[in-house]
Structure 1
Amino acid sequence: MSETTANQTDVDVEDFIADSDTGGRKPTGAFSTWILLAVPLVWAIFQLWIASPLRFDVVLTWNNSFLGDIFKLTILNDTQTRAIHLAFAMFLAFVAFPTLKSSPRHHIPIQDWVLGLVAAATAAYIWFAYAGVAQRTGAPNTTDVIVAVVGIILLMEAARRSLGIPLMAVALFFLAYVFFGSWSGLPEMIRWQGASVNKAMSHMWLTTEGVFGVAIGVSSSFVFLFVLFGSLLNQAGAGNYFLKLAFAGLGHLRGGPAKAAVIASAATGLISGSSIANVVTTGTFTIPLMKRVGFPATKAGAVEVSSSINGVLTPPVMGAVAFLMTEYVGVSYVEVVRTAIVPAAISYIALVYIVHLEALKMGMTGTSRMHPVKFMLGAIFIIAFSIVMAGGLLVGSSYLIGGLQAAFGGAAFWVILALIAATYIAAVRYAAQGDDLPVSIESMQHLPPVREILKTGLHYLMPIFLLMYLLMVERKSPGYSAFWSSIFMLVILATQNSLKSFFRGQNDVVAQIKFGFAEIAEGMIAGARNMIGLAAAMGVAGIIVGAVTLTGIGQVMAEFVEFLALGLDGLFPFIDIKLLSMLFFVAVISIVLGMGLPTTANYIVVSSLMAGVVVEIGAQNGLIVPLIAVHMFVFYFGIMADVTPPVGLASFAAAAISKGDPLKTGFQAFFYSIRTALLPFLFIFNTDLLLIDVGPIQAVFVFLIAMIAMLLFAAGTMSYFMVKSRVWESVALLLVAFTLFQPGFFLNRIAPEFETRPGIELMAMAEVAGDDESLRVRLVGEDLMGDPVDGRYLLPLGEVGGDGATRLDMNAGITFREEDGKMFVDFLQFGGPSEQLGIDFDWEVVELEVKADRLPEQLFYIPAFLLLGLVYLLQMRRKEPETREVTA
């Protein structure tokens, strides 16, 4: 790549990032420039202050003083905080993002100033008119309705500017359904009675059911802080550090830049909330280097897209979806991370293997002396060992801190703080022994050894470790954890350069301190500007959620999917084709719904519309899956929309860097991502992959078997194992992979998985069940529309204790009564687990299902591994002549 071409690529990518993430305006006027710096900075400070656990102490300290009165104004409830959060985002959307591509970039037109201020006022209306609005709940006055109408229009325009047309178009579609859903021209299946302007606007803007609901609440409480944390990490140099480390470790191997791209994207995914941002952040370096070693532009872009998509599916942030999922599913953050970790890990390992196979097929050679098979086993060992080490460090730290607290009592906090400070200073001193890492593509060709790079950024790992410790060990809230991790990053930015200068004996310490504070301001501004589109997306997603709750369209989607699946029922006698086709149609619809949407809005839309579909239809067809598995299913396919043509925003971003064809890049990325599309179907039928009700030892076994199965699936789809595979060998590898993933499939054909018990035994079974077990019950009744329901449901029982009725009431939120030798639903707790499953009053317990006493399903691993051994031996026999020929 010539210097001119490289510079042009850098300019194009910078423009792409600005247009899609931070705003394409770069005004030359002093006042406009100052506004675009000051407002984001104030927004970031406001969010840190709101999240601070110390703010109440500050207010009490300054009580009965002028400062105390000022600080008291910042003690806001959740709804008011959401309003101010959205007000900042909407104002910045109008001043930072041009109206059209042809609109001016170097000044802010007067109409955008006006629209920005009006938009901010409508969003902040809930804050400054909170008391009056709360009193008028359900009966808005004229001012309320006008503010709501103007606010929704401007919110959708803000989303259009910052995110493009797709999200706004989806919101308009749902609004049209709210107002015109009663039109006689619509099919009766999807028709509803419609809503007045007053009712709809009150629901969407003046309550917490719409724009100011859960989504914007999570955005203001958690997401902003995580985006800020990522921005500060990147500003400090952590992104460049992770990228260089990956390339130093893997870049010299066969197809090394592509393998490094996968690992670098995994690391970037820790601090990035967007697949597109992940593509442009790492792809700027990785794609040109992949092309240099022989990857075509299309495949180079596709590798980056596939690995970047996985970054969004990887804990701890998952594009902010991890925090939304805790609210929507009602589980802890730790539970979300636990369910996501195995699919994400095995998917990344499989992508590294896919890249390796591509390099073999293209005849690439590396400078490494390591044998390719040894490398793959070594990489797998390193990844597994790193996961175990990270877990061990977290556990070890918990024991250390517990010991310090026992030894020092109230003074333990200061002792721990001193240890952290000493460790940080030692890490920076170690980093100062080498040169700082350059930021350029050319520098990737002449990297120092891994050990030299590793020591330059060990202090970057400390705030990430602190975040994980607070979240996973201390079980603190995401907001609390992100706040203290961000504060740690502010300390690093303020001190790292001056400390390095001091340890290197340089005399510019004071200048480096000033530079550090400038870096803090720049990182905070960048973090806030990255939040503009995300906050707007959360608000618009609230419109969609409000429309779903107001109209009940989720039930319509369930009926529509069931109608599509019904035509295939009974097509294959040995497979429940109706259930599989239902999941397939849910997957396709989730991809369509997710096209063009940012990650968080994507999840909100698909989970609001499709999660209930899987739960309802699955229950009627014998599929009982924990709700978190259902949400993971629709989220995976929603994210696949970033890959899938014709929209595929991540594919377009990669093509902009690689100069390849966007559609070809998208199709190639989709092919690489088939393993990601396979996983949701697998963990729906085998929740062990999500580590649900799985112990530590079994979790290791599940991970190893799933990893082997995914590698074999990759080899089968790539038609290359030890050598190029014949058709029957590829089929055999896919069969082995399926057996390892789903050994119960074949056993279920021989012996049923469950035995039935009469419904009258419900209480006895509930009383004798073990800790955290669930009862699998079949219920029959009628829904609110009078339609018959016949479904299976899991009723959680919690810990052992009390009789069956008590356990069901306390843990499942359901009470039964006995009539004429039959059991009926007598009472449901509002919002309880049973009510959320869709169970209704007076449904009859027809039967219970208990695990049958049969052979272990793992016996089918034996023929699977025997078949794998046969394929291996046959391919090795063909490989040996090839090796001798090459040697000769």
Structure 2
Amino acid sequence: MTSTETLLSRQRMRAVDALFHWLVAVLCTFYVFIHLYIGIYGSPDSQLLNALHVNTALAIVFMTMPLLRRDHPAYLFGRVLDFLALCACVGCTIYFMMEIKTWSIRTLIFRPVDYVTSVIFIALILEACRRAVGGVLVVICLVLMAYALTSDHFGGMFYGAPASPTRLLQTIFLGNAGIFGVAVTVMAQYVVLFILFGVLLNAVGGGRFFTRLAFALFGHRRGGPAKAAVVSSAMLGTISGSAIGNVVTTGIFTIPLMIKLGYRRAFAGGVEAAASNGGMISPPIMGAVAFIMADLMGVSYLTIIAAAAIPALLYYMTMFVTIDLEARKYGLAPLPRGKLPAAGPMLRKQGYFLIPLIVICVALVLGYSIVFVAVMTIATTFIIGILRSNSRLDPARLMGAIEETARSTAGLSATAAAAGIMLGAIFAVGLSFQVAQEAARMADGNLWILVMLCGVMAIIMGMGMSAAAVYLTLAATVVPIMQVAGISQMAAHFYAFYFGIASNITPPVALTAYAAAPIAGSKPIETGFYAAKLGISNLLLPILFVYHPAILLEGSWGEIATVSITSLLALIGFAAVTTGYLFAGLNVTERLVGAIGSLLLFIPEPATDLAGLVAIALWAAYSWRKSRRRQEAVVPIQESAVSDGGGWLNRWASGRMAKEGEAAIGQTSRNEDELLEMLVSDAEDGAVRAQARERFSQLSLYLAWGAVLLTSGLFQFSGSNYIHARDPILWTAVMLLAAVFFVSSIWTVVRWRPVVVAVPRSQS
């Protein structure tokens, strides 16, 4: 349970536990409030904002992600260390507040207190990053910092003048290329607001609407749950940009239903993993990368999401076709239409959930700023929640959405700060320039060698890292190499980004596939192989970015249309080859012909396009005639295929897993019929209404909304008097006061709401 759920449950708890959960709720609320305020009224001093953003995120991580598990013998000692880390965050915050006016001269005069604070701050960031996303990025940061101090002990392209400890700390701690660089600035200004929008939309029922709509549109078709997984992940990906979040949100419905229809368990998990991974390449958020990319490249945000549109569409269309071929191959039946919601009535009844997405598109096209768009979508979603009659938004759910936003963003903020440490170490010794020059020399004019080398580097460096962290890493290492070779800026950035996030579905570190495997009850590595096969376009599309950037809208409309169509046909051809089925089963020779035809279409030359079209047409015609001639009997897939089907690659993966021991466990706790019933019925809305009635009487509900209005009054008072610009420290105190008042008021109202007790007539 979150701290908000614990506080508002009205269960008895110790005073120490109540204080802890209250502090977490206040800290999370303060974190969201400062970002919501700057979106509406403007930002205070940017250095103070970035410092508050990072330090509050670190504090949230230390409070919500303890050093040791509760069942660990040394758990209490771990919590003492967590408390000390929290105190260090407070101390760093005080330091930044005191140094606002003299911050610029720290590059000239670096005092002992600056040394101590910078070292502590860096240590806090690395530890928070380790807790939030693992140790990969932490190790990279430590190695690069050690290299920056000792670069004169290396040879070849890694030899250089070392940075002194002072210079290294100043670059990381003070410079724009360090901790408070692009990543943290973008997180503070844009990303938190968009994540708040996504969480709030889900809280008022938007996430469930998208899932139900996907099943209504595609559930009754061949391979329905798998296609619904693709569509729902695409819809949710437009607002969340989180691959694992998509798996957890939609996978609980889609994976069990795919298994019921006869899909292999590993294939069902792979479908959801690959579809959810597409959320990170889907506009408008792209896992926060769209904002960072726009800032680094010096182009508009609209330019970035426009360039990302066609590749994302091709990715999902290829997945859609692959799933359809798999369903054809094994004769998988669709879900019964009578057990699914109807799309028309749902759109008429709940189509208002599409309004925020329409607002985003219209506002961006009209040229409004990203911050304004974020605030407008949050306001639109809030109004929808207030006006919605089935499960109206109440202050308790609003408070829960605020905490969920802070929790889901804090780890990402710590990662962005850690990426700043890495970038600061790189720029302190000019490593990116040296590596770019040497890689270009090694390629010796062979662009394809350089492209392949950069792709492998991106996949390896992206293992176990979040989308924003891997993109920043590659922007400082791989992108300069490609640009030295003459590749366009847009193509280089998108190439690195696509290959970087491919590690999410590429074994051995396929985090998204590993998240789907327990839901499917499958083996993680086998699930990862299926996810990689389904997401093969994630590995093929980046090559087009380099050799035919028209797919990124860098070219004439004729070139854009040509490359889009030929790429789609090529990807469909590759999908058929990997599936082993087109209109009929494909043997080795037929697969080879299909692969050659697809490859010819993939090469951006008129002659190869024509040859590829002819080859694919003849190949498809032969497969169609083969199916008509043989009238092949379709053999339904059996559950035993989980362990021994799917070709030599899957058999090899299964053998490896058998040697290592069974890694995937557990079945979903809900059976398929219950899931279908949840899709059709409004049971969830009824549960929300019942929970609201349990928390609030009519009077206490008015009191809680009154507290919300008074909190907004504090915002208006501060904004109308420009306190954030005139006195940033006072503004920070006002935001903290608003958070304390908001949390305490709602907690008090819920915990002490009037309870009406019926009195027997005989006693009246």
- For 1:875 and 1:596, the matched residues in 2 are separated by 41
Given the alignment, which residue of 523, 529, 549 partners 1:661? 523
Deviation at 1:362, TM superposition (A): 2.3
Any idea what SS the aligned residue of 1:647 has? coil
Query: Do 1:138 and 1:202's aligned partners in 2 also have CA atoms closer than 8 Å?
Result: no
- For 1:260 and 1:688, the matched residues in 2 are separated by 30
Alignment of 1:8-47 (within 5 A): 29-47=17-35
1:869 aligns with 2:617: yes
Given the alignment, which residue of 364, 368, 383 partners 1:476? 368
Given the alignment, which residue of 451, 455, 461 partners 1:593? 461
1:96 aligns with 2:68: no
1:802-821 deviation line (CA, Å, top 9, x unaligned)? xxxxxxxxxxxxxxxxxxxx
Alignment of 1:395-414 (within 5 A): none
Alignment of 1:265-664 (within 5 A): 265-366=233-334, 446-471=339-364, 473-497=365-389, 500=390, 516-559=394-437, 561-562=439-440, 565=443, 578-616=446-484, 618-619=485-486, 625-664=487-526
Deviation at 1:698, TM superposition (A): 5.6
- For 2:361 and 2:98, the matched residues in 1 are separated by 37
Pair 1:557–1:667, CA change in 2 (3 A)? farther
Deviation at 1:108, TM superposition (A): 8.7
Partner amino acid, structure 2, of 1:608: A
1:721-768 deviation line (CA, Å, top 9, x unaligned)? 111123333233233333333342xxxxxxxxxxxxxxxxxxxxxxxx
Partner amino acid, structure 2, of 1:632: F
Which protein is richer in strand relative to its size? 1
Pair 1:466–1:28, CA change in 2 (3 A)? farther
Which protein is richer in helix relative to its size? 2
- For 1:202 and 1:231, the matched residues in 2 are separated by 37
Pair 1:196–1:254, CA change in 2 (3 A)? same
1:379-403 deviation line (CA, Å, top 9, x unaligned)? xxxxxxxxxxxxxxxxxxxxxxxxx
Given the alignment, which residue of 586, 591, 610 partners 1:725? 586
Query: Do 2:322 and 2:534's aligned partners in 1 also have CA atoms closer than 8 Å?
Result: yes
Alignment correspondent of 2:126: 156
TM-score, normalised to structure 2, is 0.77
Higher relative contact order (CA 8 A, sep 6+): 2
Pair 1:673–1:182, CA change in 2 (3 A)? same
Deviation at 1:113, TM superposition (A): 2.3
Alignment correspondent of 1:179: 149
- For 2:217 and 2:76, the matched residues in 1 are separated by 43
Alignment correspondent of 1:780: none
Given the alignment, which residue of 86, 106, 117 partners 1:136? 106
Query: Do 1:87 and 1:121's aligned partners in 2 also have CA atoms closer than 8 Å?
Result: no
Pair 1:664–1:27, CA change in 2 (3 A)? farther
Unaligned stretches of 5+ in structure 1?
A: 1-10, 19-25, 57-74, 370-444, 502-511, 567-575, 620-624, 745-856
- For 1:658 and 1:128, the matched residues in 2 are separated by 53
- For 1:155 and 1:323, the matched residues in 2 are separated by 22
Partner amino acid, structure 2, of 1:335: T
- For 1:109 and 1:676, the matched residues in 2 are separated by 42
Q: Which has the larger radius of gyration?
A: 1
Alignment correspondent of 1:51: 39
- For 1:124 and 1:738, the matched residues in 2 are separated by 60
Any idea what SS the aligned residue of 1:306 has? helix
Deviation at 1:315, TM superposition (A): 0.7
- For 1:629 and 1:264, the matched residues in 2 are separated by 28
- For 1:728 and 1:682, the matched residues in 2 are separated by 26
- For 1:99 and 1:367, the matched residues in 2 are separated by 45
Unaligned stretches of 5+ in structure 2?
A: 7-13, 636-764
1:136-194 deviation line (CA, Å, top 9, x unaligned)? 323311111110001000111111112221121121111111222233xx324312222
Alignment correspondent of 2:46: 78
Query: Do 2:224 and 2:335's aligned partners in 1 also have CA atoms closer than 8 Å?
Result: no
Partner amino acid, structure 1, of 2:493: H
Deviation at 1:562, TM superposition (A): 4.6
Alignment correspondent of 1:252: 220
1:329-359 deviation line (CA, Å, top 9, x unaligned)? 1111121112111111011001011111112
Alignment of 1:837-876 (within 5 A): 857=606, 861-876=609-624
Pair 1:195–1:865, CA change in 2 (3 A)? closer
Alignment of 1:792-871 (within 5 A): 857=606, 861-871=609-619
1:737 aligns with 2:737: no
- For 2:458 and 2:15, the matched residues in 1 are separated by 39
Query: Do 1:94 and 1:116's aligned partners in 2 also have CA atoms closer than 8 Å?
Result: yes
Cα RMSD (Å) of the superposition?
2.7
Alignment correspondent of 2:555: 693
Partner amino acid, structure 1, of 2:592: V
Query: Do 2:454 and 2:496's aligned partners in 1 also have CA atoms closer than 8 Å?
Result: yes
Alignment correspondent of 2:736: none
Any idea what SS the aligned residue of 1:457 has? helix
Any idea what SS the aligned residue of 1:644 has? coil
Partner amino acid, structure 1, of 2:33: I
Pair 1:106–1:290, CA change in 2 (3 A)? farther
Taking every aligned residue pair, what percent have the same amino acid on both sides?
31
TM-score, normalised to structure 1, is 0.67
Query: Do 2:172 and 2:179's aligned partners in 1 also have CA atoms closer than 8 Å?
Result: yes
Partner amino acid, structure 2, of 1:520: L
- For 1:257 and 1:88, the matched residues in 2 are separated by 41
Any idea what SS the aligned residue of 2:190 has? helix
- For 1:111 and 1:482, the matched residues in 2 are separated by 37
